[in-house]
Amino acid sequence: MKHKLKNILQTLFFISIGLAFIWWFWEKLGSEERIQIWQSLKQTNYFWFALAAIISLASNYVRALRWNLMGRTIGCKVSNLNSFLAVMSGYLTNLALPRLGEVVRCTMLKKSNNVPIEKSLGTIITERAVDMLLFLLLLVSTFLIQRVLFIDYIEKNFNIDLDKLIQLGIIGISALIVAFALFLIFKNKLKYNPIYKKAAELAKGLWEGIKSVFELKNPFLFILYSIIIWVLWICGTFICFQCLKETQALNFIHAMVTTVLGAFGPMITPGGIGLQPAIFAEVMQNYDISRAVGYVVGWLNWLSSQIGTIVVGLIAFIYFSTNKKKQ
């Protein structure tokens, strides 16, 4: 009973954060901008919207193929269909109960293919580590490609002196170097500390997970799948640009920057609800797109990914419950 109450409170907390971002951004808009949002929605080309939804499902299918590659290294043979539906059931769960989706994904394969949950969870940790590494590489790349716009945006919106920011960066790096030196000096004493032990075990597990990628029979295919997932996400954003006349002139680089920065949304709220569209709107102002239009594109991008998640996720739950009955 306590566990269920905890899950309900956790869900309400994360959803309330998303709703708070929606309210916060809506309050920032003027009356003309709000009218522009409704007009933009009426003028949306829903052919491109449907194509963006298909692209989103395709990226999830590629994720399932990548997961299957990892599963084979631990002796688990699962069909691509089962893997895909397990991924979608996990994503649907994350919309309601953040972070529980990974467990549900593994539970589905336990029911249908008797895959040990602890083994499949290990592969998901590796997935997350690889995804985070690619995200950081793309984040650095987008900064280098659009550094002038980044600097202007930070100075205008956050009233930050760039020289002071550089000084703080130097101080921060120096502090990290000193901290690392102290760590090396007192390493033997720290190893008996319970907090250090847990942190060290976590770091070791992540590193082992990353190394396991290169133990795959076809590591290059795994890396290729990982890149394709991000390419499809960026393509989905680019296709959403085609939904409105005001954004059709934006190119693939604009889509990459918007997608990468928008990826912070799902890290904070379930599926990025509320926050991801707000990030899209703020980023696209750098490309002379009004906040209202950018906000619409953000919501179209978010909805195009969540429609497939909801529909296919529900099908997945029905599918696995039927398989369970057969067994």
HEC per residue, 108-137: HHHHHHCCCHHHHHHHHHHHHHHHHHHHHH
**Count of domains observed in the chain:** 1
On the question of pLDDT at 325 being above 50, the answer is no
Q: What angle do CA 115, 227, 317 make, to 5 degrees?
A: 35
On the question of pLDDT at 105 being above 60, the answer is yes
Judge whether 110 lies within some domain.
Answer: yes
Phi, psi of 29 (to 5 degrees): -80, 145
Judge whether 249 lies within some domain.
Answer: no
Q: What angle do CA 137, 94, 51 make, to 5 degrees?
A: 70
On the question of pLDDT at 151 being above 60, the answer is yes
Which span out of 9-18, 27-36, 52-61 was modeled with the highest average pLDDT? Answer: 52-61
Structure confidence at residue 32 (pLDDT): 62
Structure confidence at residue 326 (pLDDT): 45
Judge whether 24 lies within some domain.
Answer: no
Judge whether 208 lies within some domain.
Answer: yes
Closest CA to 283 of 250, 242, 321, 248: 250
Judge whether 258 lies within some domain.
Answer: no
User: Range of 145's domain?
Assistant: 45-232+305-326
CA distance 89 to 14: 19
**Amino acid sitting at position 87:** V
Closest CA to 308 of 9, 10, 51, 71: 51
Least confident of 37-41, 128-132, 150-154: 150-154
How many CB atoms sit inside 10 A of residue 131's CB? 16
Q: What angle do CA 160, 165, 169 make, to 5 degrees?
A: 155
Judge whether 300 lies within some domain.
Answer: no
Judge whether 89 lies within some domain.
Answer: yes
Structure token pair of residue 87? 């991924």
Helices 117-145, 46-73: axis angle to 10 degrees equals 130
Which span out of 13-17, 130-134, 178-182 was modeled with the highest average pLDDT? Answer: 130-134
pLDDT > 70 fraction of the chain, expressed in percent and rounded = 67
Judge whether 71 lies within some domain.
Answer: yes
- Name the residue with higher pLDDT: 201 or 13: 201
| Helix (H) or strand (E) segment spanning residue 11 | helix 2-28
Structure confidence at residue 251 (pLDDT): 92
Give 245's contacts (C-beta < 8 A, 6+ positions apart): 43
